[in-house]
Structure 1
Amino acid sequence: MKLHFKNREQVGIELAEKLKDMVKGEPAVVLGLPRGGVPIASIIAKTLNLEFNIYVSKKIPHPQDEEFAIGAIGEFGEVSVNPFFPNVITKSSIENIKNKINSYINKYRKKPLPSLESKIVILADDGIATGLSMMAAIKDIQQFHPKKILAATGVAAQDTFEKLNKMTTVVALIISNDPFFSVGMYYEDFHQLTDQEVERILSDEQ
């Protein structure tokens, strides 16, 4: 399988092109999921002249495998659970993830979230594999009665895309039915962003 994207910046540019007619003339906010969604959201916001901020949802890892997600929590408390592991998530694991979410918010959010009511909210990430983090984000944002939520991403696994599309509108540059081992398969440059990189992007928005 050949790589499809040079980097996250390319994804941001291409998503902005796809989104421009969907938000034209409408009040809209772009929220980037740290860390990988932040540069993408920033480019979308700058290109379309929209408000930009971060939104944090984090995966709950399996207690015996940090890389395997059994759920996710949104920053406003919504939880998505892998249906095959309903009894594995503990109160202590939830509290641990909530503490990590608060740490991210304190570190990265440079200005308060704007009002989301009656606006189009674009949730941007670099890729969607299991979709648990994005599901938690969608359910979280729905509490604020937006006009519409658009989940925007470079690549989404086919089965996840279909699940998410039942919840909201998914805008994906690639919908992959290949064996989906990682989002990084689709990027030439998929380095893990440092705190300094994320903070520089967010500082540029001030």
Structure 2
Amino acid sequence: MIFANRAEAGRALADRLAAELGEPADPLILALPRGGLPVAGPVARRLGGELDIVVARKIGAPGRPEFGLGAIAEDGPPVYDPGNLLWAGATEDGLAGVLAAEREELRRRIHRYRGDRPAPAPAGRTVIVVDDGLATGVTAHAALLWVRGRDPARLILAVPVCSPEARDAMAAVADTVVYLNAPDPFYAVGRWYEDFEQLTDADVENFIMC
């Protein structure tokens, strides 16, 4: 299953969510920007939910920033993947500099994307966290833990495509994981999209204002 783009993936994911959840009352759809927003838009429209964002940042391996060793979300603590730390020969203490830099970038993005608006309030609501895909799942893990700490009534993770390992790991964090495809071997999220254009801060702002 290869998606034309994120919007197509979002529509297909919205159909799956509607079939599995019915019409949840007052759902809160939280996209992981940047790539999760074009997927989350169709989900929010189909379910009649409020669309907002939960901002997270990957903590990459030194010299290999694309390889996620951990992540942070909003004002939450860092979450690390023990297996990836071991594989990379890294330690949490040794990543203090990387963590500080990512924390600063996280603050910048929160300020740019949200401005003076308050962070979303998940308490007592069905919350659906949406991203365009999961490779290791570490960024979604940090976002889910942040949401979980704010007492949602139900916490759902929804993605068009994910690795089987990430799907299984996130099942321990979310109440439900909804996905369309979990290929094995997985390779990378972008492998399952014909158009996987990298989005900019301006793209995020345009989605939020629409």
Q: What residue in structure 1 maps to residue 6 of structure 2?
A: 8
Write out per-residue CA displacement over residues 91-126 of structure 1, whole angstroms, 9 at most, x where no aligned residue: 322221111111111111264334211111111100
- State the Cα RMSD in Å: 1.6
Structure 1 counterpart of 2:178, one-letter code? V
Q: 2:198 aligns with which of 185, 192, 200?
A: 192
Structure 2 runs not aligned, ≥5 long: none
Q: 1:91 aligns with which of 93, 96, 100?
A: 96
Kindly indicate whether the alpha-carbon contact (under 8 Å) linking 2:141 and 2:170 is maintained by their aligned counterparts in 1: yes
Q: What residue in structure 2 maps to residue 69 of structure 1?
A: 68
Q: How many residues align?
A: 201
CA distance in 2, matches of 1:76, 1:106: 12
* TM-score of the aligned structures, taking structure 2 as reference length: 0.89
CA distance in 2, matches of 1:198, 1:115: 20
CA distance in 2, matches of 1:130, 1:47: 28
Structure 2 counterpart of 1:40, one-letter code? V
* TM-score of the aligned structures, taking structure 1 as reference length: 0.91
Cα shift at 1:63: 1.2
Kindly indicate whether the alpha-carbon contact (under 8 Å) linking 1:32 and 1:125 is maintained by their aligned counterparts in 2: yes
Counterparts in 2 of 1:76 and 1:23: CA distance versus 1, 3 Å? farther
CA distance in 1, matches of 2:22, 2:124: 13
Please list, as runs of the form range in 1=range in 2, the aligned pairs for 1:25-174 lying within 5 A after superposition. 25-84=24-83, 85=85, 87-88=91-92, 89-109=94-114, 111-168=117-174, 169-174=176-181
| Secondary structure in 1 matching 2:133 | strand
CA distance in 2, matches of 1:158, 1:57: 22
Structure 1 counterpart of 2:41, one-letter code? S
Identity of aligned residues (%): 33
Structure 1 runs not aligned, ≥5 long: none
Cα shift at 1:23: 5.5
- Is 2:176 the counterpart of 1:177? no
